[in-house]
């Protein structure tokens, strides 16, 4: 089944194509707006208003996406074995108009300098792959380099990311607390394709 699902690279490429198309449409609308000021006869205020609103409606999601894709804190790319110790359920009672369905984050424990640390895997693992994350199973994860940055979120949990060794796992986005993406299921990590600060 996972062979039919898009990979993280394919999902990223589709997002980039969509952003480029929206940017091109916005540029054409803004050009139309500017040309309308200088042509003879000049464009009417209604035409300017409609074109301006259309340009804003197309530009707003592009600007939002660019702001969202900002650089994340440094990631320690040393694979660490993490043992599954449970699951946490989120958005269990979604608002009626919410587009985000209930989801599960896998809770793991791993060693950091001789001390056991508990964290949530940020990847939104979905069926059928979620069934593989049974208590006691071990997975390779990456932790953020500085524990005081994005690793501790409002829900009080550190976040870790599944390593590339598990690219066959089906995921539907990620949840870093303040930064979350919920998208169509596919293999590979959308999160590891993001930009991280250097250590």
Report the share of the chain in percent with pLDDT over 90.
10
Distance CA 185, CA 166 (A): 15
Check residue 136 and give its pLDDT.
93
pLDDT digits (tens, 9 = 90+) for 52-94: 888 888 888 777 777 666 667 788 888 999 999 988 887 777 7
The CA–CA distances, whole Å, from 37 to 19, 42, 51, 57 equal: 27, 5, 12, 21
State how far Cα 96 lies from the chain centre: 23
pLDDT digits (tens, 9 = 90+) for 162-176: 998 888 888 888 888
Q: Which residue has the higher pLDDT, 138 or 98?
A: 138
Q: Which residue has the higher pLDDT, 140 or 102?
A: 140
Check residue 154 and give its pLDDT.
53
Residue 125 corresponds to which tokens in the numbers above?
């693992």
pTM: 0.70
pLDDT digits (tens, 9 = 90+) for 144-153: 876 554 445 5
Distance CA 18, CA 66 (A): 12
193 Cβ contact partners less than 8 Å away, ≥ 6 residues apart: 8, 9, 12
State how far Cα 60 lies from the chain centre: 18
Tell me the pLDDT band of 134, cut-offs 50, 70 and 90: very high
Closest C-alpha among 94, 92, 95, 82 to residue 122: 82
Tell me the pLDDT band of 3, cut-offs 50, 70 and 90: low
Q: Is the pLDDT of residue 37 over 50?
A: yes
Geometric angle at alpha carbon 167, from 16 and 22, rounded to 5°: 10
Check residue 140 and give its pLDDT.
92
Q: Is the pLDDT of residue 198 over 80?
A: no
State the average pLDDT for the chain: 80
Please state the φ and ψ torsions of residue 106, each to the nearest 5 degrees: -85, 130
Check residue 150 and give its pLDDT.
44
């Amino acid at each position: 089944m996972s062979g039919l699902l898009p990979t993280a690279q394919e999902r990223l490429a589709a997002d980039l194509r969509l952003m480029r198309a929206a940017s091109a449409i916005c540029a054409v609308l803004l050009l139309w707006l500017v040309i309308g000021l200088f042509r003879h006869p000049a464009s009417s205020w209604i035409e300017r208003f409609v074109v301006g609103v259309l340009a804003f409606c197309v530009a707003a999601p592009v600007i939002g996406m660019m702001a969202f894709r900002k650089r994340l804190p440094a990631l320690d790319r040393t694979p660490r074995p993490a043992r599954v110790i449970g699951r946490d359920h989120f958005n269990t009672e979604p608002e009626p108009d919410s587009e985000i369905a209930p989801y599960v984050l896998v809770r793991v424990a791993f060693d950091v300098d001789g001390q056991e640390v508990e964290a949530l895997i940020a990847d939104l693992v979905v069926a059928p792959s979620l069934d593989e994350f049974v208590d006691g199973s071990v997975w390779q994860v990456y932790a953020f380099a500085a524990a005081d940055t994005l690793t501790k979120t409002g829900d009080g949990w550190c976040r870790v990311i599944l390593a590339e060794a598990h690219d066959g796992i089906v995921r539907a986005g990620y949840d870093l607390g303040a930064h979350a993406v919920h998208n169509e299921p596919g293999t590979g990590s959308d999160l590891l394709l993001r930009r991280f600060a250097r250590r």
